[in-house]
Amino acid sequence: MQADLFEYLNSKKSCELFICEDLNKAYNYSYVFEYFNIKSFVLPDFRAEENDDLRSFLDELISFSNRLYDFYNCKEKKVLISPVASILHKLPNEQNLKPIKLEFAQSVNKEELFKMLKCSAYSLVDSVSTKAEFCIKNEKIDIFCINYENPIRIVFFDNEIESIKFYDINTGLSFKDELLEIDILPIISRVEYDFFEQINNECSELDEYLSVFFWKLKLNDLLDYYSHLCSSNFLDFSNRLNNILSPAKKYKDCKVLINNDFFKINSQKNITLLASNENKFLEFSFGENVKKVISPAIINISSNDEYIISLNKKEYKQRKIKASLNINELNKNDFIVHEKYGIGKFIGLELIKTQNTQQEFIKILYANDDKLLLPANSLHLIDKYVASSIPVLDKLGKNTFVKLKEKLKTKLFAIANSICELAAKRALIKAKSISIPLEYEIFKNAVDFSLTPDQQKAINDIFCDMQKSYPMDRLLSADVGFGKTEVAMHAIFACVKNNYNALFFAPTTLLCAQHYNTLKERFKDYDIDIFRLDRYSNTKSKILASKKAKIIIGTHSLLSLELENVALIVVDEEHKFGVKHKEKLKQLCLYAHQLSMSATPIPRTLNQALSTLKSYSCILTPPLERLDVRSFVKIYDDALIKEIIARELRRKGQIFYIHNHIASIEYKKRYLQDLFPKLKILVLHSKVDNNTAQEQMLAFMNKEYDLLLSTSIVESGIDLQNANTIIIENANRFGIADLHQLRGRVGRSNIQGFCYYLIDNDEISEDAKKRLLSLESNSYLGSGHMLAQMDLELRGGGNLLGAEQSGHIEQLGYALYIKMLEEQINLLSKNESKKQDFEQKLLVNAYISDELVSNEKIRLNLYRRLNECKNMSELSNFVDEFSDSFSKPDEVSNNYFKLIAIKIKALEQNIIEISNFDSNIRILYADKKSLVLKANSKNDSDILNCVLEFLNKKN
């Protein structure tokens, strides 16, 4: 592949447009151009069809703008490289990509700037979190330009630009360096405001602005690059156009293992060795026949007398996940639970004047329209109510909630006691220590791919755990297709080579069969016996007769197997197993190490992982060449179904169609057959005989069918690389983990996968909307971990040890339940006494000014974050960020920050209350001792400074 282009360019030829099959090949070719000092610009692989919803294609649209803008601004010898699917679309030209230019000290009409940003397809948001967003904060504007890696903060003095700086998206703090100017690049094109408004008005509730904008703009204003550059010299490797690249005659692509032996064997050949830096050459010894070249290119080609090879490796693309969800984030009309008064409804913030001072209060609605006003500095007393049902509001003035808490505290104590007993018991168990076998490096290198960095770290952590004196209990969380099974096989190999048995649990017989075949293939050269045990493969007598260390793969049938010398248990798709099954599993193999695997761990297990009951490994790095699955939420429509299926058939692929109702599945088959009379449809569900199901799945894998119509039975782990479109009916009736697993059935190779979540036009619940929106927006590679956290918010954490997911959460809400449980665990395990509550009754004007932060939701979030500050360092960082993001704190805001400082220091000194009357300040300690301070005056700053000076001296 690379050899063909190398030979072409080596003959002093050139081209301006290079078209190839896909993005992977585009990057491989770009290395060859770079080797010949031709600057290459690779366009993204854009596989949207006419009028598609482009929500899942935002990255590609941004990439088009960036690559083409750079291409036009490059004055060196250059080439545009495009996958064929992309170049067949009209794309932005140089005029479309005219940026908004802003300079230091420039006078700007801010209203016009906001309009220009909207006309550049940027979204106005409350807080910037991703590219192509901007937000307005009084005299500051935050913009995440698509052409920069960090967002930009612009500070105005009236209409003049006073400062331009990059800032950190995670901390919110600006970098030190001032910028003299910036270019704000549009997405695809910056249009006239009338055109923007016209498109905006055309968008229906289900439409998305950028989609309508792109397809409409494409009709007239964008450029047909293929036609435009046809007259120029161009190459094409797509077999769809002409000027096809000729096969190389002298060179060929090669794959070599580069070590000192390679250089000795090829000492008579000319070798050009490429490396990104000089240090890489130091790893090897070679003679004068080797020419060292500093280059980032990855080229591996050879001829009869020459090698051109690279020490560089492809970089893994890892998306840093920043959680945009927060369990405690409150929105209007959310249910909350107060530690003393129980379940109420949050209805907003209100600035209230009391005794000549103003403070901001949180308004909470209770039964009988009673309202509770909670000071903002008492936010720690409330938590968002998270459970699976809609609660009944409690009544103020009754002690029913306090009594309920006391009643549940006894039950929570019992659960906490069980947790501590389990932890203590595990600490005393002598585990079977598993060392790394001598043959391990051979096993590791026996495949034609490299482990991702996250896979390698997970394997290292597992090996470390298995060598300890107590049993491992580790959760391995990885998105679908990210190589959990490969990691597990490394642990299994070590276990069996240490002469111990390993059990591998799978939730279904189909997945059990797939794992059996995978492990048989992977372990075929290592003299390891592998058995399969499920309803249809009863090999129990053979397993018990075998005296060798072995691997047994099975379903729940494994639970009935009484086998000695088991050192490792692997549980795949562990959220599919009931808690009782897992507890029985632990009893059967109390001394065995356990590795649980899931793409989206259920909240109970995630809780265990995050609260150190389990060890935790997370694989966030996708394999090379892996593409994310484009996900869309659509209203069910016959024409849409027809188009989705026809599109996949056009690219010679197969389709999953999930119809989760056995009684009507044959009717659905007739319906699809009416749409496509020649469509070969396979029907699969739990009532189909298992042997028949496996034979049919094999036939589907061999492309004897076009479409698999099934219930959600295919959810777990089935690996079919030619099936790359999945349609899920009534998607709102599934949980997040189920939907994400179903989506994982497609896009398991380097072919673009598509997932369609179909809903009826009827009203769906808010939770279902949240699930579907989070799935649509989190379709990137590695999003499973984020979705697990979303599921945690929607369904609650569950009883850590109980068989039910809900437990007592319905009565308390997830957050308060976990808080109370943690208190009990701390009391038992660390002998910690419960921390004293602290009441602040200082009558001062103290609140976050709405002049600085006008958005109520953001202000509430700031109050929450302030109340979570545990020490002065955290408070100091917060104040720095506040000043940077909004403005220098005014007097009332600064007073509020001082109240938080007083709270932090008071808790450190066992003070339970601080109050004042005029200039007299009373401090009450937990042992009921008290003292009185005298401020210089009853002025707010004098009172606050007096308290802080006293607390600082005591410290």
Asked whether 691 and 697 are in contact (CB, 8 A), the reply is no
What order do you get walking across the sheet with 306-310 strand by strand? 252-253, 301-302, 306-310, 270-275, 290-294
- Domain assignment present for 63: no
pLDDT tens profile 479-521: 767 788 999 999 999 999 999 999 999 887 778 888 898 899 9
568, 650: one domain: no
Least confident of 124-133, 255-264, 815-824, 881-890: 815-824
Under the banding of pLDDT at 50, 70 and 90, the label for residue 898 is: very high
pLDDT tier for residue 814 given thresholds of 50, 70 and 90: low
Residue 885 lies in a domain: yes
113: β partners = none
Q: Is the same domain home to 877 and 943?
A: yes
Residues 593, 473, single domain; the answer is yes
Of 310, 327, 343, which residue sits at a domain end? 310
**CA nearest neighbour of 28 among 781, 747, 624, 749:** 624
Flag the least confident range among 128-137, 563-572, 627-636.
Answer: 627-636
pLDDT digit string, tens, across residues 302-351: 888 888 988 887 765 544 434 333 434 677 788 888 988 889 999 888 88
N residues, the chain: 955
| pLDDT for 236 | 44
Residue whose C-alpha is closest to residue 572's, from 499, 645, 493, 489: 489
Question: pLDDT digits over 45-68, tens only?
Answer: 887 777 777 776 888 889 999 999
Q: Which of 169, 185, 201 is the last residue of a domain?
A: 185
Closest to 393 in 3D by CA, of 815, 813, 856: 813
Phi, psi of 47 (to 5 degrees): -110, 25
CATH number at residue 144: 3.30.2060.10
Look at residue 902 and tell me if it is in a domain: yes
Q: Over 80: is that where the pLDDT of 14 sits?
A: no
pLDDT of residue 750: 66
Strands (DSSP E) contained in 311-356 are 335-338, 342-354
How many domains, in total, are found in the chain?
5
Domain shared by 658 and 593, yes or no: no
Arithmetic mean of pLDDT, 767-792: 54
Concatenating the DSSP letter of every residue in 116-132 gives: HHHHTTPEE-SS--STT
What is the pLDDT at residue 823? 73
Quick one: pLDDT at residue 715? 57
Q: What are phi and psi of 710, to 5 degrees?
A: -150, 170
How many whole angstroms separate alpha carbon 912 and alpha carbon 906?
7
Q: Is residue 683 part of a domain?
A: yes
pLDDT of residue 761: 64
pTM score, two decimals? 0.64
Alpha helices in 256-368 (DSSP H): 260-265
**Residue 375 and residue 490: Cα distance in Å, rounded?**
55
Residues 601 and 562 in one domain: yes
- Where a domain ends, among 619, 654, 679? 619
Distance CA 727, CA 742 (A): 9
Domain identity same for 160 and 268: no
Strand duo 140-144 + 152-157: pairing:
antiparallel
| pLDDT tens string 715-748 | 555 667 788 899 999 887 776 667 777 887 787 7
Burial (CB < 10 A; 0-12, 13-18, 19+), residue 741, is: buried
Give the phi and the psi of residue 315 in degrees, each rounded to 5. -85, 140
Check residue 946 and give its pLDDT: 93
Sheet architecture: strand order including 160-166: 123-124, 133-137, 140-144, 152-157, 160-166
Largest CA distance in the chain: 95
Query: Are residues 585 and 684 part of one domain?
Result: no
Q: What residue spans of 204-256 are helical by DSSP H?
A: 209-220, 225-229
Whether residue 728 is found in the same domain as residue 670? yes
Q: What is the pLDDT of residue 795?
A: 47
Residue 240, domain member (yes or no): no
196 has pLDDT over 90: no
What pLDDT is recorded for position 799? 42
Cβ neighbours around 413 below 10 Å, total: 17
Name the one residue in this structure whose structure tokens are 């989206």.
600
Bridge partner list, 329 = none
* Residues 651-692: tens digit of each pLDDT: 888 999 999 889 999 999 999 999 899 899 999 888 887 678
What secondary structure letter does DSSP report for 329?
-
- Per-residue 3-state assignment (H helix, E strand, C coil) for 539-554: CHHHHHHCCCCEEEEE
C-alpha torsion sign, points 124, 128, 132, 135: positive
Residue 561's pLDDT band (boundaries 50, 70, 90)?
confident
What range does the domain containing 702 cover? 629-780
713 in the same domain as 569 = no
For every residue of 677-720, DSSP letters joined together read TT--EEEE-TTS-HHHHHHHHHHHHTTS-SEEEE-GGGGTT---
233-256: pLDDT as tens digits? 444 434 334 456 778 888 888 887
User: What confidence category does residue 453 fall into, taking pLDDT thresholds of 50, 70 and 90?
Assistant: confident
- pLDDT value of residue 772: 66
Tell whether the model's pLDDT for residue 371 goes beyond 80.
yes
Statement to judge: residues 602 and 682 lie in one domain:
no
Cα–Cα dist 241/218, whole Å: 22
Would 151 be classed as within a structural domain?
yes
Same structural domain, 675 and 766: yes
What is the pLDDT, as a whole number, of residue 570? 93
pLDDT classification of 809: cutoffs 50, 70, 90: low
CATH number of the CATH domain containing 869: 3.90.1150.50
Say whether both 613 and 511 belong to one domain: yes
Which band of pLDDT confidence, cut at 50, 70 and 90, is reported for residue 207? low
Q: Has residue 598 been placed in a domain? A: yes
594-607 pLDDT per residue, tens: 898 876 554 554 45
Structural domain contains residue 210: no
Does 289 score more than 80 pLDDT?
yes
* CATH code of 610's domain: 3.40.50.300
